[in-house]
Structure formats: structure tokens, C-alpha cells
């Protein structure tokens, strides 16, 4: 009887919570992506003025509900001196969204280096998504890298990803193009990942 009541309580009053890190260099568009995500998936969230978002120093937190799953995002500052703090969040994470600025070819090697530092044993079973931001701007910026360009640039990282689920998702955070597809993919992956069980949180 206790097991039945406990299961009923969890079904009615609790959600499975998954923690997703948003990593990448400073000014790549991480916070803008998070704001668009909260706006699209939270009915009563009005959102920040996207044109007034500044560089994150420390941490931004956002939460959305998708069905019975709750995603808690940790948007971490991408400055070089803050990247050493990323690993403090690895053990509790279920997924990682690594943001790449498609219009910033000059910092692509720097982004690859930061990405390489992320791959530790603590993240061996975590789902990964490369988020290629500012893609539709390629008609306005001649230096915008295409998704194939970025895949090629990061191809030597494939052994670090291994056989786990991984997606390269084109996106424009300012307009929201590609946000839904990326989030829905992440939800499916973290829910079915038996190696990183969710945390139980009461529905509020």
C-alpha cells in the first residue's frame, strides 16, 4: 500500500528534474539562448530585453517544464578565468549545451580548446549538444561559419564524445529559430539516459 501511495504522490506532485549546463565562450549567446528558452517554454515568463543582455559573470539559472520533466539550466560565465569553475557543476549535470558563435571565426580555436577541457571522466555519461548560434545571420555577415564548417572544425573532438547521443543544432537566439528543436532533443536524451537518474522535485 505504501509503495502504491508513494508512486501516486510522485506521479501527481513531483517532476523528474534534470540539470543542463550551458557552456561556451563569453559573448557566444548563452544567456540570450536561455532567455529565449524560458520565454518559449514558460507561459507566464515575459523575458528580458534581449538587446540589453550583458556578459555573464558567475551564473544564471533558469527552469522550464516539458511534460513530466523539469530542466534546470545553469548558464555559466565563459570568460577564461571563469572556465576553471565549470567542473564544479559536472557531477550534478545530466546534459551539456555547448554554445558556439558562428560569426566569430577568430575565436573558434579558443572555443575548441575550452570544449576540450570539458571532457573529463565526470561527464562521461552526459548528453551533449553543440549549439551553433547566429546561423541565419550568414546573409548579413560574410564571416559566418556554416554548420558543416563547425562540424569539420570540431571533428577531432569526436573520440571524446564517443557513442553517446550528440546533436549539432543550428539556432538563432534572437529570433528563437532552432530553440524548440534543441530543447526537445535534450529532453528526450536525458529522460532515457539510465546512467544519470533524475532528481525528484515537488511541483510548484
Q: Which residues are annotated as a binding site for Mg(2+)?
A: 31, 56
d(CA 98, CA 65): 21
Pairing of strands 69-76, 14-24: parallel
- Do 17 and 155 contact (CB within 8 A), yes or no? no
The per-residue DSSP string of 28-84 comes to: SSHHHHHHHHHHHH-TT-----GGG----SSEEEEEEEETTEEEEEEEE--STTTGG
Q: Which residues are annotated binding-site positions for GTP? A: 24-31, 78
Strand-pairing partners, residue 24, are 99
Q: For 167-187, b where at least 16 C-beta lie within 10 A, e where not — what string?
A: ebbbbbbbebebbeebbebbb
Q: Which residues are annotated binding-site positions? A: 24-31, 56, 78
Dihedral pair phi/psi, residue 113, rounded to 5°: -65, -45
DSSP one-letter code for 146: P
Residue 175, C-beta contacts closer than 8 angstroms, at least 6 positions apart = 136
Amino acid at each position: 500500500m505504501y509503495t502504491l501511495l508513494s508512486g501516486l504522490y510522485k506521479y501527481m506532485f513531483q517532476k523528474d528534474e534534470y540539470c543542463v549546463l550551458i557552456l561556451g565562450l563569453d559573448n557566444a549567446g548563452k544567456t540570450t539562448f536561455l532567455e529565449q528558452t524560458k520565454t518559449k517554454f514558460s507561459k507566464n515568463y515575459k523575458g528580458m530585453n534581449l538587446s540589453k543582455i550583458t556578459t555573464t559573470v558567475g551564473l544564471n539559472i533558469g527552469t522550464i517544464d516539458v511534460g513530466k520533466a523539469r530542466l534546470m539550466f545553469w548558464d555559466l560565465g565563459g570568460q577564461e578565468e571563469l572556465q576553471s569553475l565549470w567542473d564544479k557543476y559536472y557531477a550534478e549535470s545530466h546534459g551539456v549545451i555547448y554554445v558556439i558563435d558562428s560569426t566569430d571565426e577568430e575565436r573558434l580555436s579558443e572555443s575548441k580548446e575550452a570544449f576540450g577541457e570539458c571532457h573529463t571522466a565526470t561527464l562521461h555519461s552526459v548528453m551533449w549538444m553543440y549549439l551553433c548560434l547566429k546561423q541565419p545571420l550568414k546573409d548579413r555577415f560574410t564571416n559566418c561559419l556554416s554548420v558543416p564548417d563547425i562540424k569539420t572544425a570540431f571533428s577531432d573532438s569526436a573520440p571524446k564524445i564517443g557513442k553517446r547521443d550528440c546533436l549539432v543544432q543550428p539556432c538563432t537566439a534572437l529570433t528563437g529559430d532552432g530553440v524548440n528543436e534543441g530543447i526537445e532533443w535534450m529532453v528526450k536524451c536525458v529522460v532515457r539516459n539510465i546512467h544519470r537518474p533524475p532528481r525528484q522535485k515537488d511541483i510548484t
